[in-house]
């Protein structure tokens, strides 16, 4: 199998994600038919096969961030992230650190997870204790 076409226009983002990830593990490329909403809205036709987009997996449109506004709000500030050792919190730490806060305070109930994300972040900048 070289390619999989997800031919279920009503498939949820979760279903599309599962199929796409399992195919990727096997080195198989995935494409899809447009979503039911795209067909109903007249934005696409049933015969239009296309690459999987992030919004297919998320089940929503991606959020576009205003980076200059984020820089104004985060640069040089002290930022506290609760749940910093979890999957979402650690990714938030990775994103926030790019905006050069003066302090990034990590809080989580798992000391080990905080240690791991702190070690990862410390390879990207100088960490002060």
Q: Where exactly does CATH 3.40.50.720 map onto the chain? A: 3-58, 67-122
Q: Report H helices in 1-129.
A: 13-25, 36-40, 54-58, 67-74, 87-97, 111-122
CATH architecture of 67-122: 3-Layer(aba) Sandwich (3.40)
Place of tokens 């410390």: 122
β-sheet bridge partners, residue 81: 106
**How far, in Å, CA of 50 to CA of 33, rounded?**
6
- pTM for this structure? 0.57
**Mean pLDDT value across the chain:** 87
* Assigned CATH topology for domain 3-58: Rossmann fold (3.40.50)
24-81: per-residue pLDDT in tens?
899 999 998 877 777 788 888 877 888 888 887 877 777 888 999 999 999 999 999 9
Give pLDDT, residue 79: 97
Region 9-23 average pLDDT: 85
């Amino acid at each position: 199998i070289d390619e999989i076409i997800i031919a279920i226009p009503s498939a949820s983002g979760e279903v599309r994600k599962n199929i796409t990830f399992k195919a990727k593990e096997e080195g198989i490329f995935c494409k899809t038919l447009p979503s039911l909403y795209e067909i109903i809205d007249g934005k696409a036709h049933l015969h239009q096969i296309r690459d999987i987009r992030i919004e297919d997996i998320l089940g929503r449109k991606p959020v576009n961030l205003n980076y200059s506004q984020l820089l104004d709000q985060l640069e040089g500030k002290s930022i506290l992230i609760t749940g910093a050792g979890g999957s979402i919190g650690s990714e938030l730490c990775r994103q926030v650190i790019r905006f050069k806060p003066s302090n990034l305070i990590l809080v989580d109930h798992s000391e080990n997870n905080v240690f791991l994300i702190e070690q990862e972040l410390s390879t990207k900048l100088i960490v002060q204790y």
